[in-house]
Amino acid sequence: MRDLYPPIEPYQTGRLAVSDLHTLYYEEVGNPAGVPIVFLHGGPGGGIEPIYRRFFDPSRWRIILFDQRGSGKSTPHAELRENTTWDLVADIERLREHLHIERWTIFGGSWGSTLALAYSQTHAIRCTGLILRGIFMVRKKELDWFYQAGGAHYIFPDAWEKFIALIPPEEQHDMILAYHKRLTSTDLQVRITAAKAWSVWEATTSKLHQDVSLIKRFIEDHFADAFARIENHYFLNQGFLSPDQLLQNVHKIRHLPSVIVQGRYDMICPMISAWELHREWQEAEFVVVPDAGHSMTELGIQSALIEATDRFARCQWELNR
């Protein structure tokens, strides 16, 4: 098993206005002369954490991390206006141009894998490769699996009961819509109560072995508000994607060196999605971690991701010499 790299602080942070409304927070870590890689966080709405910097060799990589619209330190917090997949794709390009980067590697897990696919299929010429984890393509069957008694509730019936308890029986036929009503309520207490319930359901099911510390972080008011509201907003709109769009556009990135890392027992983004992407994109390396769920910090997934980032860094480093 590969350990994380030691904790590291950014050598530069900044803010980038991407519209009259939204300003992104970003940071650069590692080697300013290194191989550029951009980290796309999950959620959407999850924001970045210091631990994410540690998946990359700081001597070889120039690591760019940023909080997507409404997330983390980006402003305005938890904002749903002007917040779509295609706004985020455009933001990534603005950030690349702002940092004077010609091409970069794309790293994303869960929702980050969705965004990585959408970005790379739109701007393939700007990508040197992709490292993906916990594949999620925001399809109806994926949303139904997790939010509409499609399967996850059979494994976590205790957590599911808590998740649906907030919603009257007559609204439970559409849990995403029912939560949307509460997450956009003008009553702040209603909004925060719903945000915590939404976030705890995901945190409880994220790992093969439940992580109490993760649940405590997800239940914090500030985090839960952005995480739940933005996730729900995207899911209500099925990621602003047409059905199977990301699968149908694989031909646009087939030539890019890529790896897909998937936990066998991922309850949030079940393996069928990664498998279907693998079947469509057999040029990409496919790594199944047999004893892991969804989280990138589970040891098997962590190790596979670090092996991938190290290998990609060595290859790019040699090419650039």
Q: Please give the helix or strand (H or E) that residue 289 lies within, else none.
A: strand 285-289
Here the tokens at position 171 are: 């609204």
Q: What angle do helix axes 111-122 and 85-98 make, rounded to 10 degrees?
A: 70
Residue 43 CA: distances (Å) to CA of 86, 103, 145, 277, 300:
16, 25, 16, 20, 21
- Is 266 an annotated catalytic residue? yes
Could you give the CA distance from residue 254 to residue 129 in angstroms, rounded to a whole number?
Answer: 10
Here the tokens at position 254 are: 């087939």
Q: List the catalytic residue out of 22, 123, 180, 294.
A: 294
Could you give the CA distance from residue 198 to residue 316 in angstroms, rounded to a whole number?
Answer: 40
- Is 295 an annotated catalytic residue? no
List of residues 6+ apart from 240 with CB closer than 8 A: 84, 85, 86, 234
What is the predicted pLDDT for the residue at 262?
Answer: 98
Could you give the CA distance from residue 177 to residue 130 in angstroms, rounded to a whole number?
Answer: 33
What is the predicted pLDDT for the residue at 320?
Answer: 67
Buried b (16+ CB within 10 A) or exposed e, 55-84: bbbbebbbbbbbbbbbbbbbbeebbbeebb
Could you give the CA distance from residue 307 to residue 116 in angstroms, rounded to a whole number?
Answer: 19
What string of pLDDT tens digits covers the 321 residues of the chain? Answer: 899 999 999 999 999 999 999 999 999 999 999 999 999 999 999 999 999 999 999 999 999 999 999 999 999 999 999 999 999 999 999 999 999 999 999 999 999 999 999 999 999 999 999 999 999 999 999 999 999 977 889 999 999 999 999 999 999 999 999 999 999 999 999 999 999 999 999 999 999 998 999 999 999 999 999 999 999 999 999 999 999 999 999 999 999 999 999 999 999 999 999 999 999 999 999 999 999 999 999 999 999 999 999 999 998 766 665
Could you give the CA distance from residue 123 to residue 136 in angstroms, rounded to a whole number?
Answer: 19
Rounded to a whole number of angstroms, the distance between the first and last alpha carbons of the chain is: 29
Q: What is the DSSP string of 133-173?
A: ES-----HHHHHHHHSSSSHHHH-HHHHHHHHTTS-GGGTT
What is the predicted pLDDT for the residue at 321?
Answer: 58
Q: List the catalytic residue out of 110, 120, 206, 295.
A: 110
- Is 211 an annotated catalytic residue? no
What is the predicted pLDDT for the residue at 317?
Answer: 66
Could you give the CA distance from residue 131 to residue 230 in angstroms, rounded to a whole number?
Answer: 24
Walk me through the domains of the chain, giving residue ranges and CATH numbers: 12-140+240-320 (3.40.50.1820), 142-239 (no CATH)
What is the predicted pLDDT for the residue at 319?
Answer: 66
Rounded to a whole number of angstroms, the CA Rg of the chain reads 19
Q: List the catalytic residue out of 57, 266, 278, 295.
A: 266
Query: Which DSSP category does 263 fall into?
Result: E
